[in-house]
Amino acid sequence: MLNRTLAPASKQVNDINFIAPTKQQLANGIQVFTVNVGQQELVRIEFIFENVNYNQNKPLQAVTVNSLINNGTKTLSAKEIAEKVDYYGAFLQTEYGADQTTITLFSLNKHLVAVLPIVKSILNESVFPQQELDIFIQNQKQKLQVNLQKNDFIARKTFANTIFGDTAYGSDISMADYDALKRDDLLTYFKAAFKPANCTIIAAGKFEAKEFDLLNQFFGQEWENNEPSTVNELTYAPVEGGEIYIEKADAVQSAIRMGNLSINRKHQDFPALQILNCLLGGYFGSRLMANIREDKGYTYGIGSGIASLKDAGYFFIATEVGTEVCANALQEIEKEINILKTELVGEEELDLVRNFMLGSMLGSLENAFSHADKFKNIYFSGLDYDYYSKYIHTVKTISAEELKAIANTYLNWNAMTRVVVGKK
């Protein structure tokens, strides 16, 4: 007779294999990192540029250049670019991040030779037509109007601006910032940022010698852009914690976002802090979820995280809760933080978190793209694969005492900026 009350035997994840990329160089010196695995005849090629020349009076320069870079070049209109990319079943995505701007091409191998020239045109000779800029400004302002009615959007924006001020990480974008966009500024930024010296290429998928030769053919010469630039390097003053309450009279839920400046991946305590974060709010079974969702039913979801940026890290907790239970939810969050600082985590819970995190790491290495993503995490933090060895070692061996010490070093309710948007 089958005994359904007994769990089947299980094993802790032991081998986690990272596939390090092959490093090559184009003729002009651009570094190319290649993860060549997978059966499907497809590739993902990322052209990554450091954000440069940050000007707090023109906070939208980089993000606008990124959005409009595929909206017209010397030889192709916005519509022609889109039509050609779509015709070959490719995807061209432009992504603006806090530290880097990425132009990503997804393509089947058989169409690569047809789509790379389009990317070349975009990276070399974008012209940012005034008409496209006008449409962009109009539509982005409308999007901002809609977003400003979302409590979680306001909470996120207020939180970032409070801890990072008007830097690239925290700028509080308003309608006026869109109105101030000038085509000439975009062209200047484009010439400074989109050049070989500021570019790293990461390719993943079925990327072999033939594909590398194509890349070299289209991107290995001199490019048109060569204006001087300085990679952003941020400094900011630490802020005192405290509550910021933005009342919305007709809210049925309040958005809560709280946290503080913290360490990033470069710091030796980062893996330990990630484990602590996982316990607190980093997975479905976390203490915040168990208490505030699964026990009290105050929310659909609550979570915490640590973001690692180039020049900073920050810790945050975010949720949306019923307005009538907002005060209770805040109390419970504070309580959970304090428990981590005063009580040792039990061995059973710690074991569970160890296994969960190892399984999660294993599962995050699914295909060529995810191996490339793991590489990006360390490469742009100036680290190597030892980081992951140390991470795995820490997950397997950290003690309850060490976690308590980490909690006391990095979690402090009074030091947190606590934003509440809605009612309480």
Partner 1 sequence: MVDFNRFTLANGLKVLVHEDPTTPMAVLNILYDVGARDEEHNKTGFAHLFEHLMFGGSVNIPSYDEPLQRVGGENNAFTSNDITNYYITLPATNIETAFWLESDRMLSLAFSEKSLDTQRNVVMEEFKQRYLNQPYGDVWLKLRPLAYKTHPYQWATIGQDLAQIENAKMEDVKAFFKKHYNPQNAVLVVGGNVKTEEVKKLAEKWFEPIPAGDKYTRNLPKELPQTEARTLTVTANVPLNAIYIAFKMPARIDATYQTYDLMSDILSQGQSSRLYNSLLKEQQLFSDINAYLSSSLDEGLFVVEGKLVTGIDKEVAEKAIWEELNKLTTDLVSDDELTKVKNKSESIMVFAEMNLLDKAMNLAYYELLGDAATLNTEIDKYLAVTAAQIKEVATTTFVKEKSSTLYYLANA
Q: C-beta of 264: minimal distance to partner 1 in Å?
A: 25
Total site size for partner 1, rule CB under 8 A: 74
Residue (164 or 369) nearer to partner 1, CB: 369
Residue (144 or 261) nearer to partner 1, CB: 144
Cα–Cα dist 318/156, whole Å: 9
Contact between 393 and partner 1 by CB under 8 A: the answer reads no
Contact between 210 and partner 1 by CB under 8 A: the answer reads no
Secondary structure (3-state) at 115: helix
Contact between 285 and partner 1 by CB under 8 A: the answer reads yes
Contact between 126 and partner 1 by CB under 8 A: the answer reads no
Closest listed residue to residue 233, CA positions, set 98, 113, 323: 98
Residue (40 or 338) nearer to partner 1, CB: 40
Contact between 2 and partner 1 by CB under 8 A: the answer reads yes
Site for partner 1 in 42-81 (CB under 8 A): 42, 70, 78-79, 81
Site for partner 1 in 91-120 (CB under 8 A): 91, 106-108
Give the residues across from 199 on adjacent strands. 49
Cα–Cα dist 316/341, whole Å: 17
Is residue 258 within 8 Å of 316, Cβ to Cβ?
Answer: yes
Site for partner 1 in 219-258 (CB under 8 A): 250-253
Residue (94 or 229) nearer to partner 1, CB: 94
Q: C-beta of 189: minimal distance to partner 1 in Å?
A: 22
Contact between 339 and partner 1 by CB under 8 A: the answer reads no
3-class SS string, 187-246: HHHHHHHCCHHHEEEEEEECCCHHHHHHHHHHHCCCCCCCCCCCECCCCCCCCCCEEEEE
Contact between 321 and partner 1 by CB under 8 A: the answer reads yes
Q: C-beta of 58: minimal distance to partner 1 in Å?
A: 23
Contact between 12 and partner 1 by CB under 8 A: the answer reads yes
Contact between 9 and partner 1 by CB under 8 A: the answer reads yes
Which strand ranges, in their side-by-side order, compose the sheet holding 42-50?
22-25, 31-36, 199-205, 42-50, 100-108, 91-96
Q: C-beta of 47: minimal distance to partner 1 in Å?
A: 19
Residues with Cβ within 8 Å of residue 384, at least 6 apart in sequence: 378
Is residue 69 within 8 Å of 186, Cβ to Cβ?
Answer: no
Residue (13 or 383) nearer to partner 1, CB: 13
**Which helix (DSSP H) or strand (DSSP E) does residue 373 occupy?**
helix 368-379
Concatenated DSSP letters of 327-350: HHHHHHHHHHHHHHHHSPPPHHHH
Residue (87 or 385) nearer to partner 1, CB: 87
Residues with Cβ within 8 Å of residue 291, at least 6 apart in sequence: 332, 336
Residue (339 or 352) nearer to partner 1, CB: 352
Site for partner 1 in 255-284 (CB under 8 A): 283-284
Residue (385 or 414) nearer to partner 1, CB: 385
Concatenated DSSP letters of 124-157: HHB---HHHHHHHHHHHHHHHHHHTT-HHHHHHH
Residues with Cβ within 8 Å of residue 191, at least 6 apart in sequence: 225, 226, 227
Site for partner 1 in 355-374 (CB under 8 A): 355-356, 358-360, 362-363, 366-369
Site for partner 1 in 289-308 (CB under 8 A): 293-300
Q: C-beta of 29: minimal distance to partner 1 in Å?
A: 31
DSSP state of 382: T
Piece in contact with partner 1 (CB under 8 A), picked from 36-44, 183-191, 339-347, 380-388 = 36-44
Contact between 400 and partner 1 by CB under 8 A: the answer reads no
| Tokens matching residue 328 | 């209770």
Cα–Cα dist 260/414, whole Å: 10
Q: C-beta of 345: minimal distance to partner 1 in Å?
A: 15
Contact between 40 and partner 1 by CB under 8 A: the answer reads yes
Per-position x/- string for 127-166, each x denoting binding to partner 1 as judged by CB under 8 A, each - no binding: --------x--xx--xx-xx-xxxx---------------
Per-position x/- string for 77-96, each x denoting binding to partner 1 as judged by CB under 8 A, each - no binding: -xx-xxx-xxxxxxx-----
Cα–Cα dist 173/190, whole Å: 21
Which strand ranges, in their side-by-side order, compose the sheet holding 313-322?
242-247, 417-422, 253-262, 313-322, 299-308
In order of 30, 187, 246, the CA distances from 418 in angstroms are 43, 39, 11
Residue (113 or 405) nearer to partner 1, CB: 113
Q: C-beta of 368: minimal distance to partner 1 in Å?
A: 8
